Amino acid sequence: MTTDPATPLAVDQFIVGLQPALPDDIVAARARSEAAGLPAIGVSSEQGRFLSLLVAATGARRVLEVGTLGGVSALWMARSLPEAGQVHTIEVEPAHARIAQENFSASPHGARCVLHLDEAAKALARWVAQGVAPFDLAFIDADKKNNVRYAELALALARPGSLIVVDNVIRSGRIIDVACTDENTQGARDVLSWMGSHPRLALAVLQTVGEKGYDGFAVARVQA
Ligand SMILES: C[S@@+](CC[C@H](N)C(=O)[O-])C[C@H]1O[C@@H](n2cnc3c(N)ncnc32)[C@H](O)[C@@H]1O
pLDDT at 171: 96
126 within domain boundaries: yes
Residue having the nearest C-alpha atom to atom 27 of ligand 1 = 69
pLDDT at 117: 98
Q: How many domains does the chain have?
A: 1
CATH code, 160: 3.40.50.150
pLDDT at 78: 98
Distance 92 CA to ligand 1 centre (A): 7
38 within domain boundaries: yes
Distance 1 CA to ligand 1 centre (A): 35
Spell out the per-residue pLDDT of the chain, length 224, in tens: 567 888 988 998 999 899 999 999 999 999 999 999 999 999 999 999 999 999 999 999 999 999 999 999 999 999 999 999 999 999 999 999 999 999 999 999 999 999 999 999 999 999 999 999 999 999 999 999 999 999 999 999 999 999 999 999 999 999 999 999 999 999 999 999 999 999 999 999 999 998 889 999 999 999 99
pLDDT at 2: 60
127 within domain boundaries: yes
Of the candidates 154, 199, 220, 167, which has an alpha carbon nearest to the alpha carbon of residue 48? 167
CB 165 within 8 A of CB 147: no
5 within domain boundaries: no
Distance 4 CA to ligand 1 centre (A): 31
CB 65 within 8 A of CB 88: yes
CB 25 within 8 A of CB 109: yes
Which structural domain, as residue segments, surrounds residue 78?
Answer: 10-222
181 within domain boundaries: yes
Distance 150 CA to ligand 1 centre (A): 12
Going by DSSP bridges, is the β-strand pair 86-91/62-66 parallel, antiparallel, or unpaired? parallel
102 within domain boundaries: yes
Out of 46, 77, 93, mutate this one to test ligand 1's pocket (max ligand atoms within 8 Å of CB): namely 93
Pocket of ligand 1 (CB under 6 A): 41-43, 67-69, 72-73, 90-93, 96, 119-120, 141-143
Alpha carbon distance, N-terminus to C-terminus of the chain: 41
1 within domain boundaries: no
Out of 91, 109, 144, mutate this one to test ligand 1's pocket (max ligand atoms within 8 Å of CB): namely 91
19 within domain boundaries: yes
Of the candidates 155, 136, 167, 149, which has an alpha carbon nearest to the alpha carbon of residue 200? 155
